Amino acid sequence: MDGNGRWAKSRCLSRLKGHEEGAQAARRIVEAVKERNIPYLTLYAFSSENWNRPKDEVEGLFRLLEGFIDKEIDRLKESGVCLHIIGDISKFPSVLIEKVMMSVDKTARNKEIHLSVALNYGGRDEIIRTTRKIISEGLTADSLNQKVFAGYLDTAFMPDPDLLIRTGGEWRISNFLLWQLAYTEIFFTDTLWPDFDEDALERALTWFSSRERRFGMTSEQVRGKEPV
């Protein structure tokens, strides 16, 4: 969800105001994705590197998340959203941890859409935490394969993403889902996150539907023809 800061700066507003608008955009996009019967959506809200931001901004983001939960959790529950958290929130303020866990519990039986919010998430950190879990459970080297490894990741409950949308004009993945993105289609857009609306989502989905996904095969194989 990149571009909140620039969106605010161009309007002479504080960065936090940009994040507030970003939270509103997130609310709208969850609805739009759900209406399209897309079963999984993951939002990158706070990376393991975002701790390096000014203290005011980090605390402001925590307050915003708390406020978002207070305001939205009942509506999310009613609309069938099952909330998941990926990342390591153990270093977050205890009030926020409690609210987050309560929200996860409250929505656990919902099935309409699995909304994952990445909090203190970093792909490298996830791989290290996963490896630690595997070692601590005493798995042998021979018993480890890709499926077993993926089953220990934060994302074990979801399939690998089909589409990654990177807003804000940056062409990088910034430590997001490093394992899971192996065959994901990546859509880069200059649109700043607070401006990312239903039309922008539709453009990304249209682009995605034009992609030929080969997963290492040839075009002929994918189209069900014999190779020439």
CA dist 219 and 217 (Å) reads 7
5: contact with ligand FPP by CB under 6 A: yes
Tell me the chain's radius of gyration from C-alpha atoms: 19
Q: Counting Cβ atoms within 10 Å, is residue 61 exposed (0-12), middle (13-18) or buried (19+)?
A: buried
97: contact with ligand FPP by CB under 6 A: no
Tokens of 154: 């934060």
106: contact with ligand FPP by CB under 6 A: no
3: contact with ligand FPP by CB under 6 A: yes
4: contact with ligand FPP by CB under 6 A: yes
* Stretch touching ligand FPP by CB under 6 A, among 61-69, 82-90, 156-164, 205-213: 61-69
Q: How far is the CB of 139 from ligand FPP (least distance, A)?
A: 34
State the residue number with the nearest CB to ligand FPP.
Answer: 5
Tokens of 95: 């009030």
* CB count in 10 Å sphere of residue 63: 14
* Stretch touching ligand FPP by CB under 6 A, among 22-30, 84-92, 155-163, 202-210: 22-30
- Please name the residue that has the structure tokens 């935490």: 129
Count the residues of the shown chain that bind ligand FPP, applying the rule CB under 6 A: 19
Decide if 120 is catalytic. Answer: no
* CB count in 10 Å sphere of residue 68: 20
Residue 81's DSSP bridge partners are 113
> Which residues from 132-171 bind ligand FPP, rule CB under 6 A?
168
Secondary structure tally for the chain: helices H, strands E: 8, 5
* Stretch touching ligand FPP by CB under 6 A, among 3-11, 77-85, 100-108, 141-149: 3-11
Decide if 52 is catalytic. Answer: no
* CB count in 10 Å sphere of residue 38: 15
- Residue ranges that bind ligand FPP, judged by CB under 6 A: 1-6, 19, 22-23, 26, 43, 45, 50, 61, 64-65, 68, 117, 168
Which residues carry out catalysis?
2, 50
